[in-house]
Amino acid sequence: MADIKTKDVIKGTIKTLDRAAIATDRVKHAYVTTKDKAEQAVRTDESSGGEYASNKASAGLSAGTRRGIQTFDKVGRESTKTTIDNVKKTAEFTKEKVAKTKQNVENFKYKRAEQSLKRQSGKAPNQSIRTAKEVEKNIKQSVRSTGNKTIKRGIKAPAKTTRRYLKTAEKTSKTAIKTTEQSAKVVKNTAKTSVKATQRAARATKKAAETTARGVKAATKATIQAVKAIIASTKALITAIIAGGWVAVVIVVICVLLGAAVSLFGGGTENSGYTPVSQEVEAYTPTITKYAKQYGIPEYVELIKAVMMQESGGRGNDPMQAAEGAFNTRYPKQPNGIQDPDYSIQCGVQELKAALNSAGVKNPIDMENIKLALQGYNFGSGYITWAKKNYGGYSYANAVEFSTNQAKKLGWDSYGDTLYVSHVLRYYPYGRAFTSGGNQAIIEVALSQLGNKGGQSYWSWYGFNSRVEWCACFVSWCADQSGYIEQGIIPKYSLCSDGVNWFKKNKQWEDRNATPPTGAIIFFDWGNDGTIDHTGLVEKCENGKVYTVEGNSGDMCRQREYAVGSSVIYGYGIPAY
């Protein structure tokens, strides 16, 4: 029985030791398998996961952002490689430790077997089994605590690091894109602002250039006109000297000096009241000079040219429009009846000489009598006799009266040109220097209309088909009748505000406290609210009062008066007569 027990003990011990060996082999196999999988997982993560994620993240990014991601990726790769190296080192250490543990197990196995045989106890098999199990358990725990954890950390750490870098790269790229978009918007807005500023500057520059160009043009025109006036006066002087007569020479010298002064310092522009004659008229100067000398009025060459300019502009076969005069004996006495320019000038010079003699003109600067003579040239010699007898001379008002009477007598719609005097004198170099001026002429026109009701002749002239508030139409009509709209001295306006704006724009404006000159355009603001309600003409200003002529004052043309600085006065436009 004892032998049998001993055999059983030995048999059980052998079985127990075999199980320990098997457990050891299993642990070894598990370690090897785990190591291979770890290395494979690390290689897979290195070659595919990290690289793919890096490439994918950088696919749609800008060059700058991709460089950032590549930098992060490089750092991630280096970290992953370092981690793999650490894992490998740990695996080698674990392998050495397992081998050592295995050797210890082998030593322990034989030592315990030997001890068990010596003891010959019934408890030996169970104790050996428990011991083997504890060893196996310790080995598993050792492997788990050393290999598996390290391997897992080796696998998870690089992947986690790579994901962190990728998230940082993605966040950085989004921030970069957002910053780029914001920068683009700022640049776009800045560009728009710059374009607008450039456009405003361009418009301002263009406007300044246009203003400068207008100024240069006006200055050039003024200079040309001044030179022409001097040349014309000099020609008159030369003509007078050739014709003889020291009195005429002295008069013409005075005309030359004053005419030149007026041309150079009195404006010489289109607003000065003087307009040079056309080239067509200038071309007739030799013929005019010839007949002026022949008929004893050589000092009036410039006046004859001014008459021709008004009559025809130097065009046609009857440039002096002398067919209906008393000196035409060759051609029909009808408009444009003469068919020979030379003969027309011959007749016209004689006609003007007769008018000058009838009016009592003393010299080329006797403007009051020259006006009478000129209106007589247009109306006929009968006007001169009538005007002297009834009014002592010329006025616009009596010219209108005579024209009206003659038209009624003849059954015509109109008779002659009531504004013939002002029309001719704008072409006469001395007209501005030796006359009372256009400021008085426009007032004479306005005074001739006193008592006119309804204003139809003014608003219909302006172009309206039915009645409108016609105060501005009246002022414009008076300006047109005096020739000042054509010359650009007074604007044509039907709205009071348009008149104000024109004078302000041309820097010809005075406020209500000014003392206005005769011929100024007055504007009213009845409610003192900044709205321009009415307009008229200043007849005169004296003793602290402003006297006016106004259209549409109670639907009539009337004379009015106001205190200087009155609250109803808005201000004054001051024409450059």
Question: Could you tell me which residue, 382 or 43, shows the higher pLDDT?
Answer: 382
Mean pLDDT score across all residues of the chain: 74
What pLDDT is recorded for position 313?
Answer: 95
Is 513 in contact with 565 (CB distance < 8 Å)? yes
Confidence label for 292 from pLDDT (cuts 50, 70 and 90): very high
What is the DSSP track for 301-333? Answer: HHHHHHHHHHHTTT-SS-TT--TTSTT--SS-S
Q: Collect contacts of 243-252 with beta carbons under 8 A, ≥24 apart.
A: 243/293, 243/298, 243/299, 248/298, 248/299, 248/363, 251/299, 251/363, 251/364, 251/365, 252/299, 252/364
Give the pLDDT score at 543: 94
- pLDDT at residue 425 in the model: 87
* pLDDT tier at 267, thresholds 50, 70, 90: very low
- Which residues, other chains included, contact 389 with Cβ-Cβ below 8 Å and sequence gap of 6+? none
Predicted local distance difference test score (pLDDT) of residue 58? 43
CA distances for 492 relative to 94, 459, 478, angstroms: 112, 12, 10
For the stretch 498-508, pLDDT in tens is 999 999 999 99
The stretch 328-346 carries a mean pLDDT of: 94
Residue 164: pLDDT band by 50, 70, 90 thresholds? low
555: tokens are 């639907």
Helix residue ranges per DSSP H, 360-453:
367-379, 381-391, 396-410, 420-425, 438-447
Q: Provide DSSP, 135-200.
A: HHHHHHHHIIIIIIHHHHHHHHHHHHHHHHHHHHHHHHHHHHHHHHHHHHHHHHHHHHHHHHHHHH
Mean pLDDT to the nearest integer, 462-471: 96
Q: Of 30-44, 71-85, 351-365, where does mean pLDDT reach its minimum?
A: 30-44
pLDDT at 452 over 80: yes
Residue 218, φ and ψ in degrees, nearest 5: -65, -45
- pLDDT value, residue 490: 96
Buried b (16+ CB within 10 A) or exposed e, 153-189: ebbebbbebbeebbeebbeebeeeeeeeeeeeeeeee
Q: CB pairs under 8 A, 24+ apart, for 189-193?
A: none
Q: How confident is the model at residue 440 (pLDDT cuts 50, 70, 90)?
A: confident
- Please give the residue that has the higher pLDDT: either 429 or 405: 405
CA dihedral 267, 268, 269, 271 (to 10 degrees): 60
**What is the predicted pLDDT for the residue at 395?**
85
Q: HSE (CB half, 13 Å, CA atoms) of 202?
A: 6
Residue 41 has pLDDT above 50, yes or no: no
Q: Read off the pLDDT band of 418 (50, 70, 90).
A: confident
How confident is residue 118, by pLDDT bands cut at 50, 70 and 90?
Answer: low
The larger pLDDT score, comparing residue 300 to residue 195, is at 300
pLDDT confidence bin for 322, thresholds 50/70/90:
very high
SS3 364: coil
Kind and range of the H or E element at 547? Answer: strand 545-550
Share of the chain above pLDDT 70, in %: 52
Residue 49: predicted pLDDT: 44
As a whole number of angstroms, the distance between CA 319 and CA 345 comes to: 7
Q: Please report the DSSP string for 484-545 in residue order.
A: TTTTTSS---SSHHHHHHHHHHTT-EEETTS-PPTTPEEEE-TTSSS---EEEEEEEEETTE
Region label for 532, one of left (φ > 0), alpha (ψ between -120 and 50) or beta (otherwise): beta
Which tops the pLDDT comparison, 41 or 133?
133
Question: What is the pLDDT confidence band of residue 190, given thresholds at 50, 70 and 90?
Answer: low
The residue ranking higher by pLDDT, 181 or 248, is 181
What are the beta bridge partners of residue 549? 537, 559
- pLDDT for 299 equals 94
Average pLDDT over residues 190-216: 58
Which residues have C-beta within 8 Å of that of residue 35, sequence separation ≥ 6? 91, 95, 147, 151
Q: How many residues does the chain have?
A: 577
- Per-residue pLDDT for 102 more than 50? yes
Degrees (nearest 5) of the Cα angle 66, 70, 71?
120
Cα–Cα–Cα angle for 175, 181, 185, rounded to 5 degrees? 145
The CB density around residue 52, as the number of other CB atoms within 10 Å, is: 10
Q: So what's the pLDDT on residue 439?
A: 75
Per-residue confidence at 397, pLDDT binned at 50, 70, 90? Answer: confident
- Residue 15 φ then ψ, to 5°: -60, -40
Q: What is the mean pLDDT of residues 228-248?
A: 52
Measured distance CA(449)–CA(475) in Å, rounded: 11
The tens digit of pLDDT for each residue in 419-438 reads 898 889 888 987 655 555 55
Among candidate residues 152, 99, 117, the one with its CA nearest the CA of residue 10:
117
C-alpha distances in Å from residue 466, one per residue of 191, 469, 475: 54, 10, 18
Q: Please enumerate in sequence order all residues whose Cβ is within 8 A of that of 81, keeping only pairs 6 or more positions apart, or say none.
A: 46
Question: Which of 31-40, 339-348, 392-401 has the weakest average pLDDT?
Answer: 31-40
Structure confidence at residue 181 (pLDDT): 60
Question: Phi first, then psi: what are they for 556, rounded to 5°?
Answer: -140, 165
Q: Indicate the range of 23-32, 106-115, 417-426 predicted with least confidence.
A: 23-32
Angle ∠(501,549,542) on CA atoms, nearest 5: 95
pLDDT of amino acid 429: 84
pLDDT higher than 50, residue 151? no
* pLDDT on residue 177: 55
Please say if the pLDDT value at position 271 is more than 70: no
Q: How far apart are CA 476 and CA 299, in angstroms?
A: 36
The residue with greater pLDDT, 228 or 398, is: 398
Per DSSP, what are the bridge partners of residue 546? 541, 562
Strand partners, 545: 542, 563
User: What is the amino acid identity at position 294?
Assistant: Q
Give the Cα separation of 40 and 15 in Å (integer): 37
Tell me how far apart the alpha carbons of residues 309 and 431 are, in angstroms, rounded to a whole number.
14
Per residue in 525-576, pLDDT (tens digit) is 999 999 999 999 999 999 999 999 999 999 999 999 999 999 999 999 999 9
Whether the pLDDT of residue 131 is over 90: the answer is no
For residue 88, pLDDT beyond 50: yes
For residues 537 and 521, the answer to whether their CB atoms sit within 8 Å is yes
